[in-house]
A and B are shown apart, each in its own frame.
Chain A
């Protein structure tokens, strides 16, 4: 089973695969998963989405504590995360830090974890000391003062270890509210055999991309240049960021700018809608078995996805394996070098923690040491770093995976990782994601244009933000 919903900004797609996990769990197909899940972190991948489907946080996976944890003098730290294999780093930390004992629990990927944290914070007890929180969700915890400023615990010493955009995603003014973890720089994955068949070279600009989409679909009406997953808000927003059409301005506090209907945003919507109206794009839910089947069967010739994308597609890639390559995203301005990020997580310390010093020490070690990254960059975690020493490591740049092509090593992403602009997420992304699945549904089934969806999303978000007491600029 796929590692649904890990290390990505994608909580909804975790649900998409979760049904399968749920059925497998119920029918006993995953008996081995549930049987061994109590003592090892590896089955977290299959266990957590199942938990999210049944809305039950009880299926938590606890990592065995390190050897030194038997000492009662060690400070106990609770750590919530869903990345598979992260427990290996936790164990390594415990072994090298005798005074601290970190216990990792998996309470679900993304949304289920946030709900559990929010509930625990409301209840006043049971919240973790440290947790994995996606970048887009962090402001929601900052505004409720649920997370600690880590500057008093020496966070600034690590600033130069991280790509600037990642550091600014976890900062507000002088305060630093989390240590950045992984990222999801985007790339243009393409089926080289298929593009060659239609005499298409990987488009360098979006204008070329649109022209190629038309060419390919007219050559073969059953095939598409790529898939456009309209309900995948974070994916759309990543592409908007690359187009300098980011729809929010937020730097903390009670004022937020929401702008889905500006000229840039509408032009972006228009660009994609033109192709959608001409039926030149496929419209399957992204990161789903259906989408992967389309890619493997040659229905979709390319995939606008992230560094973590291949780890999802790989199990489904069969006949097309070996044909896939990765290259930089098409550019809005010819000769440009603008990248985009899709997903990734940071590691805040919660304000209710009894031991913020030790919790911060763990968060810093986990994300800002080569010792930790040497573990987490490998399978099954396969995290893509925001940690500069690793990004600059020639050995990491040469790392391959079968879907980015043997001739195009990781360098496509390590380059992209530093050309990303920081996204300003509003402190209500859960609600935005929630509404998006309904607002954008009509775009997928062709009953609504992307422009219309942007317009109604604007009004939904503005009224929500106003109801929540924000000063809203549009």
Chain B
């Protein structure tokens, strides 16, 4: 009797993944395969289409025009991503701490730029920065920066960075905010009871705990930076010649495919860009795996670190009661405490409601 290659139970599972697999095949695998296939041919106005093997790839790899765009988006990402994540983390912390009034309202306000389509956002910014009438241009002139041209070669990249930060900070903030919400509350409470200052709680407890989220955001934003397209394209439509053809790899691929009608070459460029992105993703995922392991380890040693800082004056203030003690026990079972692990000593006072302490903190 031939043994079936799938157990009965697994065959049922196939039906569950079939819709996804079908979409994945149709919209990912087939187009990818077609792009690779296309990239192996070359169309010439004189002579038509012929098989040219890797020549589109060698042409791209040797093309400084292509690589200068890649370098530009790397520079873009190296500046934009850290700045944006710093801002996003700051505001996520503010909202997480509950120190701001109307937190929900302002979270929504911060999120709005992300809800605005990128094209509209870019058009809006273009109007604001427009060299002739833009209010920001006029402001710059009024402040003594004569002849400020936000679309000029020196300011163009900073302008795009600002636009992208504006668009994406809210989104990143929401993810970090959610991650912060999942930081075990008792750990923070422990630190509060120990009298740790706010900045230390944020930098030594919260930041390490949301590290996996940050690594994921760095990865997502890096991929986004490598694919930068909309903002340069819209800015170019406002100021002809402001954005060079090869400003970003995606923009160059688009120009090569549409304006220059060299779809084969564009396909090769797209494959190379995809390989770069996959490479970045792989590195990020490896970093993320390592990162989360490290984060866990770090989280475990947190209370130790906090305690250590307070131990300078003398006896380590080992928490005996309350959530701090629980946290210490849970997070760091190896920590030496005077309290034996096990049930809470009967002498402990009842736990203070969290919100009370939150107010004290604020």
Chain A residues engaging chain B, CB cutoff 8 angstroms: 12-13, 15-16, 18-19, 22-23, 26-27, 53-54, 111, 115, 118, 143-144, 230-232, 254, 284-285, 288-290, 293, 427-428, 430-431, 433-435, 437-438, 440-441, 444-445, 447, 464, 467-470
Q: Which of B78-86, B194-202, B257-265, B280-288 contacts A (4 or more CB under 8 A)?
A: B257-265
| Docked pose: A458 CA to B127 CA in angstroms | 35
3 tightest A-B contacts by CB?
A469-B46, A441-B241, A434-B259
Instruction: List A contacts of B244 (CB < 8 A).
Output: 438, 441
The answer on a CB contact under 8 Å between B127 and A23 is: yes
| Docked pose: A12 CA to B242 CA in angstroms | 13
Q: Which of B119, B234, B245 contacts A435 (CB 8 A)?
A: B245
Q: A111-B259, A427-B45 are in contact. List 8 more A-B contacts (CB 8 A).
A: A22-B123, A53-B119, A293-B133, A431-B259, A437-B240, A440-B241, A441-B244, A470-B46
* Contact mask for chain B residues 151-169; partner A; CB cutoff 8 A; 1 contact, 0 none: 0110000000000000000
Instruction: List A contacts of B117 (CB < 8 A).
Output: 26
Considering only CB atoms, which chain B residue lies closest to A286 in the complex?
Answer: B240
B120 within 8 A of A: yes
| Docked pose: A18 CA to B238 CA in angstroms | 8
Considering only CB atoms, which chain B residue lies closest to A12 in the complex?
Answer: B240
Number of interface residues, chain B, beta carbon within 8 A: 34
Quick one: given A18-B237, A290-B132, A293-B132, are A438 and B245 in contact (CB under 8 Å)? Answer: yes
Instruction: List A contacts of B261 (CB < 8 A).
Output: 118, 430-431
| Shortest distance between the CB of A211 and any CB in chain B (Å) | 27
The answer on a CB contact under 8 Å between A444 and B241 is: yes
| Docked pose: A433 CA to B240 CA in angstroms | 11
CB neighbors of A among B306-339 (8 A): none
Considering only CB atoms, which chain B residue lies closest to A467 in the complex?
Answer: B44
Instruction: List A contacts of B149 (CB < 8 A).
Output: 445
| Docked pose: A13 CA to B240 CA in angstroms | 8
Instruction: List B contacts of A26 (CB < 8 A).
Output: 117, 119-120, 123
Considering only CB atoms, which chain B residue lies closest to A428 in the complex?
Answer: B45
Instruction: List A contacts of B239 (CB < 8 A).
Output: 16, 285
The answer on a CB contact under 8 Å between A15 and B237 is: yes
| Docked pose: A290 CA to B137 CA in angstroms | 13
The answer on a CB contact under 8 Å between A470 and B45 is: yes
The answer on a CB contact under 8 Å between A284 and B153 is: no
| Shortest distance between the CB of B318 and any CB in chain A (Å) | 61
CB neighbors of A among B65-114 (8 A): none
Quick one: given A468-B46, A469-B45, A470-B46, are A437 and B260 in contact (CB under 8 Å)? Answer: no
Q: What is the interface of chain A mostly: helix, strand, loop, or mixed?
A: helix
Instruction: List A contacts of B246 (CB < 8 A).
Output: 438
The answer on a CB contact under 8 Å between B240 and A143 is: no
B227 within 8 A of A: no
B23 within 8 A of A: no
Instruction: List A contacts of B260 (CB < 8 A).
Output: 430-431, 434, 464
Instruction: List B contacts of A27 (CB < 8 A).
Output: 120
B47 within 8 A of A: yes
B361 within 8 A of A: no
Chain B residues engaging chain A, CB cutoff 8 angstroms: 44-47, 117, 119-120, 123-124, 126-127, 130-133, 149, 152-153, 234, 236-242, 244-246, 255, 258-261
| Docked pose: A293 CA to B46 CA in angstroms | 45
Total cross-chain contacts (CB, 8 A): 97
Considering only CB atoms, which chain B residue lies closest to A253 in the complex?
Answer: B46
| Docked pose: A441 CA to B243 CA in angstroms | 9
Instruction: List B contacts of A444 (CB < 8 A).
Output: 241
Considering only CB atoms, which chain A residue lies closest to B255 in the complex?
Answer: A434
Most buried by B among A26, A254, A468: A468
Most buried by A among B131, B246, B260: B260
Instruction: List B contacts of A427 (CB < 8 A).
Output: 45
Can you identify 30 A-B contacts, CB atoms within 8 angstroms? A13-B240, A16-B239, A16-B240, A19-B126, A23-B120, A23-B123, A26-B119, A53-B119, A53-B234, A118-B261, A231-B240, A232-B240, A285-B241, A290-B130, A293-B132, A428-B45, A430-B259, A431-B259, A435-B245, A437-B245, A438-B244, A441-B241, A441-B242, A441-B244, A445-B152, A447-B153, A468-B44, A469-B44, A469-B46, A470-B46
Most buried by A among B45, B244, B246: B45
Considering only CB atoms, which chain A residue lies closest to B245 in the complex?
Answer: A438
| Docked pose: A15 CA to B255 CA in angstroms | 14
Q: Which of A53, A437, A468 contacts B241 (CB 8 A)?
A: A437
| Shortest distance between the CB of A9 and any CB in chain B (Å) | 14
| Docked pose: A440 CA to B126 CA in angstroms | 21
| Shortest distance between the CB of A103 and any CB in chain B (Å) | 26
| Shortest distance between the CB of B348 and any CB in chain A (Å) | 61
| Docked pose: A288 CA to B153 CA in angstroms | 20
| Shortest distance between the CB of B48 and any CB in chain A (Å) | 9
The answer on a CB contact under 8 Å between B132 and A22 is: no
| Shortest distance between the CB of B147 and any CB in chain A (Å) | 11
| Docked pose: A469 CA to B117 CA in angstroms | 42
| Docked pose: A118 CA to B152 CA in angstroms | 34
| Docked pose: A297 CA to B86 CA in angstroms | 45
The answer on a CB contact under 8 Å between A468 and B245 is: no
Instruction: List A contacts of B130 (CB < 8 A).
Output: 290
| Docked pose: A129 CA to B124 CA in angstroms | 39
| Docked pose: A443 CA to B149 CA in angstroms | 15
| Docked pose: A225 CA to B44 CA in angstroms | 44
Quick one: given A118-B261, A143-B45, A434-B259, are A19 and B234 in contact (CB under 8 Å)? Answer: yes
Instruction: List B contacts of A143 (CB < 8 A).
Output: 45-46
The answer on a CB contact under 8 Å between A284 and B44 is: no
Most buried by A among B47, B120, B124, B240: B240
The answer on a CB contact under 8 Å between B119 and A22 is: yes
The answer on a CB contact under 8 Å between A284 and B127 is: no
The answer on a CB contact under 8 Å between B124 and A23 is: yes
| Shortest distance between the CB of A336 and any CB in chain B (Å) | 32
| Docked pose: A184 CA to B68 CA in angstroms | 39
| Docked pose: A434 CA to B239 CA in angstroms | 14
The answer on a CB contact under 8 Å between B238 and A19 is: yes
The answer on a CB contact under 8 Å between B240 and A144 is: no
The answer on a CB contact under 8 Å between B123 and A289 is: no
| Docked pose: A446 CA to B65 CA in angstroms | 22
| Docked pose: A289 CA to B242 CA in angstroms | 16
| Docked pose: A15 CA to B246 CA in angstroms | 18
